[in-house]
């Protein structure tokens, strides 16, 4: 049995969980009229209400004791100090330096990285402003109107999510952002459809400039551009890159001044704060991008300095530990009540599931406890008419985060008030439900006979005790979005520290890449299929038998 499960703090939580069995949220709220005040917290533009969880003051004290026992504060300080906490790759984890707005040095191997960070930010500003102002034109002198970011994973999900979330700060009449990630040619073909090569800028985002999907898409985009403009020299004015492989970018035809670097201590899923955010800077303006950085930095400072029991990322992380490890709830829903945040769940899927989807701890041992949850979600109110049925009356209890802004960006009738009403009502319904007795009273009040009411009441009853957090933003701005993203980054970090896993490697994605190369050679007829398993061999043969393959 692992040290974690054997620890005094874990055992105390297990005993407390057993003692709390059968306690309902109705009872907890009934016993404490100050419950909302007790279990809520503000950090800058973000307000967290976590009162609708099956917790008491004792629960939170025990969870905080677990965090302290597992060295969360020590791990936090080690990250900010630039120590090599990504131990399987022997790298620091210092994405916080990318958004450092203070004068504080951020060291890696004794050298302050901030001068290099500021240099890249300055180059991003110069280039993005040149594109936005029309100074940087296409090969034929026409103004750039469309920017296509070609990347995958963290080089796509983060910039795409931010550009969608802050679309109301962009000016799509003059500059439109597009994103291509899938190697499925449909993604590139449909993106390029209707674009004018004379007015299109491509950003190829790949640290090594070797990522298979990205480079396949980049090569096809290059061919489209050259075929349209009939001049190889056009590549220099229509492509930029975010990469460290200057030799490869030069061979591709990208001018050195249009290559923006980032560093090994920046993980892909934490990279939107780096030059990977170049598409954000061009689409929204560098001022907006730096406001995003400032919001992330504000949350960093809160996480770095606030005590554990008043620390928003720590509290979110501990609530997750409580549900995953002590209530066996391995699924988590993120439900943004904001259409601009429709890509946030997908972004957080990578952040959480690639970081903490691990079964081997830092000592190389297989864990004997659950780690990261299955994370998923969609915007409200759409989700209410899709999967909320399961959330309310299904057999799985799914903790959920509801995210909503108190003030909407538009002033169209009562839309935002209805959105807010639905968000708050859903958390209320999940927490408190409706008893069978209450359903009977309601049905009888509608004139239904007693027999009919008795028959229908079980279907109309809601069990309640479905936990949720509500994250209330003042408004969705670059600053508040930056804080929100950093909040979830640090939540994931804290959980990884408690589970004693490396949240910053991702070896699980490697095997599929390796096998894809072998299968590709078989499909291309360049290698025999003998080495493939029977199923894959049969499927490959079926595909190769198709006309025209």
**Catalytic amino acids?**
354, 385, 513
Q: Return the closest-CA partner of residue 465 out of 19, 99, 57, 28.
A: 28
Distance (Å, whole) CA 9 – CA 30: 29
Burial class (CB in 10 A: 0-12, 13-18, 19+), 246: middle
Q: How many Å separate Cα 474 from the centre of its chain?
A: 21
Q: Residue with structure tokens 């009356």? A: 393
Query: 3-class DSSP state for residue 548?
Result: coil
Distance (Å, whole) CA 200 – CA 282: 13
**Which residues are bridge partners to 366 per DSSP?**
360
Task: Answer yes or no: are the C-beta atoms of 136 and 127 closer than 8 Å.
Answer: yes
Q: Within 446-533, where are the H helices?
A: 450-460, 478-499, 510-523
Distance (Å, whole) CA 436 – CA 56: 27
Strand order in the sheet with 400-407: 40-43, 46-49, 468-475, 400-407, 331-336, 374-376
- How many residues does this entry show for the chain? 549
Task: Answer yes or no: are the C-beta atoms of 256 and 246 closer than 8 Å.
Answer: yes
> What is the sign, positive or negative, of the torsion defined by CA atoms of 243, 246, 252, 255?
positive
Terminal CA-CA length for the chain: 53
400: part of which helix (H) or strand (E)? Answer: strand 400-407
**Which residues are bridge partners to 541 per DSSP?**
none
Question: What torsion do the CA atoms of 516, 519, 525, 526 make, to the nearest 10 degrees?
Answer: 70
DSSP letter at 41 equals: E
Task: Answer yes or no: are the C-beta atoms of 403 and 337 closer than 8 Å.
Answer: yes
Task: Answer yes or no: are the C-beta atoms of 263 and 117 closer than 8 Å.
Answer: no
Burial class (CB in 10 A: 0-12, 13-18, 19+), 30: exposed
Task: Answer yes or no: are the C-beta atoms of 355 and 92 closer than 8 Å.
Answer: no
Distance (Å, whole) CA 261 – CA 278: 11
């Amino acid at each position: 049995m692992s040290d974690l499960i054997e620890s005094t703090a874990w055992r105390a939580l297990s005993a407390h969980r057993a003692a709390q069995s059968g306690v309902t949220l109705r009872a907890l709220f009934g016993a404490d009229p100050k419950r909302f005040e007790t279990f809520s917290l503000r950090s800058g533009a973000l307000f967290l209400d976590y009162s609708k969880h099956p917790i008491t003051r004792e629960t939170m004290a025990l969870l905080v004791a677990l965090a302290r026992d597992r060295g969360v504060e020590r791990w936090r300080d080690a990250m900010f100090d630039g120590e090599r906490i990504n131990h399987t790759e022997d790298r620091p984890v210092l994405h916080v330096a990318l958004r450092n707005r203070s004068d504080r040095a951020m060291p890696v191997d004794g050298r302050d990285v901030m001068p290099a960070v500021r240099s890249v930010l300055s180059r991003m500003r110069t280039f993005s402003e040149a594109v936005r102002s029309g100074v940087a034109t296409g090969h034929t002198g026409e103004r750039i109107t469309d920017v296509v970011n070609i990347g995958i994973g963290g080089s796509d999900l983060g910039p795409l999510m931010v550009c969608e979330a802050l679309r109301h700060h962009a000016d799509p009449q003059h500059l439109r952002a597009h994103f291509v990630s899938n190697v499925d040619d449909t993604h590139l073909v449909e993106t390029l459809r209707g674009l004018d090569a004379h007015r299109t800028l491509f950003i190829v985002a790949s640290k090594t400039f070797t990522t298979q999907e990205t480079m396949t898409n980049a090569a096809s985009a290059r061919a489209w551009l050259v075929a349209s403009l009939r001049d190889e020299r056009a590549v220099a004015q229509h492509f930029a890159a975010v990469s460290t492989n200057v030799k490869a970018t030069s061979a591709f035809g990208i001018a050195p001044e249009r290559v923006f670097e980032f560093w090994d201590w920046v993980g892909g899923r934490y990279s939107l704060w780096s030059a990977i955010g170049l598409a954000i800077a061009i689409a929204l303006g560098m001022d907006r991008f730096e406001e995003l950085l400032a919001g992330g930095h504000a949350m960093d400072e809160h996480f770095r300095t606030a005590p554990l029991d008043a620390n928003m990322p720590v509290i979110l992380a501990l609530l997750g530990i409580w549900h995953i490890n002590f209530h066996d709830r391995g699924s988590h829903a993120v439900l943004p009540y904001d259409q601009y945040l429709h890509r946030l769940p997908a972004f957080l899927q990578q952040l959480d599931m690639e970081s903490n989807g691990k079964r081997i701890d830092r000592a190389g041992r297989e864990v004997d406890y659950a780690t990261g949850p299955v994370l998923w979600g969609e915007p409200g109110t759409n989700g209410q008419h899709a999967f909320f049925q399961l959330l309310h009356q299904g057999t799985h209890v799914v903790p959920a985060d509801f995210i909503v802004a108190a003030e909407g960006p538009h002033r169209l009738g009562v839309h935002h008030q209805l959105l807010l009403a639905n968000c708050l009502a859903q958390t209320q319904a999940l927490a408190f439900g409706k008893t069978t007795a209450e359903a009977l009273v309601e049905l009888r009040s509608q004139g239904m006979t007693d027999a009919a009411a008795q028959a229908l009441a079980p279907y109309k009853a809601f069990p309640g005790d479905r936990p949720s957090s509500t994250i209330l933003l003042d408004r969705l701005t670059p600053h508040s979005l930056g804080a929100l993203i950093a909040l979830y980054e640090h939540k994931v970090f804290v959980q990884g520290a408690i589970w004693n896993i490396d949240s910053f490697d991702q070896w699980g994605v490697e095997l599929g890449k390796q096998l894809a190369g072998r299968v590709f050679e078989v499909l291309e007829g360049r290698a025999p299929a003998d080495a493939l398993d029977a199923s894959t061999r049969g499927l490959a043969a079926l595909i190769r038998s198709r006309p025209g393959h």
